[in-house]
Structure 1
Amino acid sequence: MARPQPGEYPPFYARYVDLAPEDDVLAAIQAQAAVTEQQILQFADRPDHRYTPGKWSVRQITGHMADTERVFGFRALWFARADASPLPGFEQDDWMAASDFETQPLAELLAGFQAARTNNLYMLRQLSPDAWERRGLANGHPFTVRAYAHGMLGHERAHLNVLAEKYS
């Protein structure tokens, strides 16, 4: 399967698509699981660590990754099923304020992300070639299913990069 091209996602989403350069996004998503687990669990003894006051903790980043995985997966499924209804955006900071990630064990937050990822992987594997090309609107912007698949992986990698660069 080919990578998504500009026009299949809005310009601000390129930062995620660019972090998932693989053509075989499903294999890349599968392979990423062990990397993500290792990088998150290196903070098991300091899940509340923030690289600076006011930034999200490791727990919060992990919970946010799970939330975003669920949203991106839902959007991909919605568009794959050719539903023309536009989908709303979500404000990550508002969602964070309404979460209780700080009270949950890091391992449980990671397991939630992994479960959402596994679910999305099964869903994506079951799509027909035509479904990957289908489009829809989310937060007023056009996306293809293919762009969301690459975005799932790129979003994960973006946060792992932040953890590696600023939290370690």
Structure 2
Amino acid sequence: MDAERIFAYRALRIARNDMTALPGFEENDYVVVANANNREYESLLSEYETVRNASISLFETFTNDDLLRLGTASNNSISVRAIGYIMLGHELHHKNVILERYL
């Protein structure tokens, strides 16, 4: 969820034509301090739903021009549309991890 929030923030900044280069981040560093292991399963699911719905709402506001706008994140040129696809792929990756390891 933290990574999705960061991706959404990057998409927003780039869509709004903010040309500031955005730094990279290490998602595994966030996991260490996220305190997820001390939370109830239902709480995590509720937060996940809230974050995902916020991302969907954000992307629904973008025009075709917004989606094609380019910016810099993690020292790479990237479009808002590409960030959306990264968000989807990141979710699928974690879904597969859960299925393979825990279900």
TM-score range, shorter chain: over 0.9
Tell me by how many angstroms 1:69 deviates: 1.1
Distance 1:106 1:89 in 2: 29
Identity %: 35
Distance 1:152 1:111 in 2: 18
1:69-91 CA deviation, whole Å, 9 max, x = no partner?
11111111111001000111111
Is 2:3 the partner of 1:68? yes
* Matched residue, 2:72: 137
1:89-116 CA deviation, whole Å, 9 max, x = no partner?
1111211122211111111112111111
Distance 2:77 2:44 in 1: 30
Provide TM-score, normalisation by structure 2.
0.93
Is 2:18 the partner of 1:83? yes
Is 2:86 the partner of 1:151? yes
* Matched residue, 1:63: none
* Matched residue, 1:105: 40
- Whichever residue aligns with residue 90 of structure 2, its letter is H
Tell me by how many angstroms 1:155 deviates: 0.7
Tell me by how many angstroms 1:167 deviates: 2.1
Gaps spanning 5+ residues in structure 2: where?
Answer: none
Runs of 4 or more off by more than 4 Å in structure 1? none
How many aligned positions are there?
103
Distance 1:166 1:116 in 2: 24
Tell me by how many angstroms 1:156 deviates: 0.5
Provide TM-score, normalisation by structure 1.
0.59
Is 2:70 the partner of 1:128? no
Distance 2:97 2:31 in 1: 17
Is 2:102 the partner of 1:163? no
Distance 1:165 1:99 in 2: 22
1:108-162 CA deviation, whole Å, 9 max, x = no partner?
1121111111111111111111000011111111111001111111111111111
Q: Which has the larger radius of gyration?
A: 1
